[in-house]
Amino acid sequence: MSARSDIGIIGLAVMGQNLALNIEDKGFKVAAYNRSTEKTTNFIEKRAENKDIKACYSLEELTAELTSPRKIILMVKAGKPVDLVIESLLPFLDEGDIIIDGGNSHFQDTDRRFRELKEKGIHFLGTGISGGEYGALHGPSLMPGGEKIVYNQLEDIFTAIAARTDNGPCVAYLGPGSAGHYVKMVHNGIEYGVMALISEIYDIMRKVLDLKPAAMAEQFQSWNQSQNSFLLEITVEILKREDPETGRPLIDLILDTAKQKGTGKWSAEEALDLGWPVPTITAAVNSRSLSSFKAQREKINSRIGGWTKTDLNQQDFLNNMESALYLATIIAYSEGMTLLASASSKYDYDLKLAEVARVWQDGCIIRSDLLKAIREAYLTEDFFHLLASDQFKSDITGNLSALREVVTQIKALRLPIPALSSALDYLDMLRSKELPANLIQAQRDYFGAHTYQRRDKAGSFHTEWQDIHNI
């Protein structure tokens, strides 16, 4: 069989199918394979019958169908399945062929696969893909990392299928090794944080202000006129949706337990390892975990009670919540960008954070006009933290009192708002000239002789806090 397809896709769940259709729509020939023969056949018959997409029913057939060097995108579940597919592919590949992992793989797995495949003469690109099913079909945000010379061979396809803004296609070569998957991990961490912030504002609206879903949708829609946030946009649609069976708002029928796939947790773990905490993102991860203990929460509520009710001026408090959500969202983004800066230094990614912000401006889940301002800050200023930039100084000073007011009043009602509270604490700590860490270090020296530094002279010091001879 003569080779004819420009690129292959392995994994035909909805994301893989939509990506294949997107690539074909841009003028490239696609070979598609799924381990399940039935899924491959159904895809061709139901969605790709008149498309230039070749159905392949074995890895040998897929690789024989591709032009050289072969380019193969893996759209399979992260973890062991990626390794198994790569292992199965290797007998049919030649030196110089390229494997692209388009899943949410852990960046350390990506580094390992890069090294192992390089020893065999096979190129590997860890490529974060964001935008969900719609983005895969109509234009995702793409975050590739690996060897630049290898990315160059995929650039025409990636550029063609990516979402576009006035600043160009939402794709860029981000850096060596696992840079692309690391950026995607942090993207998802920010996503966790913003989703948690929005959900906490929703909870205040329904419990404290007694707003119905339709009224909440109007508020979020009004607020989103200035932010143009995808997550706010879908929140509006969710709150408007009625259950076809009961006619009730669908949101009122959805159980309050949220799941997670791990990328948010990875972001929080990485932040702790690198020494740059991301408390808003971590609070979001913890919130999802706690939400799963539904039965336990109900038992504790029955024993010690929950939140209390009060009367608030609805319009004044709504105005404060708009400002609080906006500032807390800026803080969540700043946590992610600072984590990227720290990782770039440790792992030699040489990330261009202005370019990361540009790639996220459309096609991805955290797309928002806020990213335009973030990009501008990194292009025009030199700062150690996004919250210290001139670009956001007025946003912080103009909205901080509102965030503090919301957190103060809602905490008094015993309503949990961990993400909003953490965002405020994070900002307050960053702007504190003095923190109580001196006492912590003294305690460490007391029980473990860990030493401390002094304000008045250089060096490390230890105090004999206890008379150990009399113990």
Q: Provide the annotated binding site.
A: 11-16, 34-36, 76-78, 104, 130-132, 187-188, 192, 261, 288, 444, 450
Residue ranges of the annotated binding site for substrate are 104, 130-132, 187-188, 192, 261, 288, 444, 450
Residue 129 pairs in a beta bridge with 142
Among the listed residues 371, 325, 319, the one whose alpha carbon sits nearest the alpha carbon of residue 232: 325
Dist. CA 470–CA 198, nearest whole Å: 58
Task: Measure Cα distances from 308 to 216, 253, 410 in Å.
Answer: 21, 23, 10
Catalytic residue check, 191: yes
Token readout for 216 is: 């909440």
**Number of other residues whose CB lies within 10 A of the CB of residue 236:** 18
200: buried, middle or exposed (CB in 10 Å: 19+, 13-18, 0-12)?
buried
In the set 24, 65, 191, 270, the catalytic residue is 191
Residue ranges of the annotated binding site for NADP(+) are 11-16, 34-36, 76-78, 104
Dist. CA 158–CA 172, nearest whole Å: 9
Dist. CA 369–CA 362, nearest whole Å: 9
In the set 29, 184, 200, 270, the catalytic residue is 184
Dist. CA 383–CA 353, nearest whole Å: 12
Task: Measure Cα distances from 174 to 44, 128, 171, 336 in Å.
Answer: 34, 10, 9, 16
Task: Using CA atoms of 77, 122, 266, 155 in order, give the dihedral in degrees to the nearest 10.
Answer: -90
Catalytic residue check, 184: yes
Half-sphere exposure of 396 (CA within 13 A, CB side): 18
Dist. CA 426–CA 199, nearest whole Å: 19
Dist. CA 227–CA 371, nearest whole Å: 10
Task: Using CA atoms of 280, 193, 355, 340 in order, give the dihedral in degrees to the nearest 10.
Answer: 40
Instruction: Write the CB contacts of 245 (distance below 8 Å, at least 6 apart in sequence).
Output: none
Task: Measure Cα distances from 216 to 23, 110, 328 in Å.
Answer: 38, 42, 19
Could you give the residue numbers annotated as active site? 184, 191
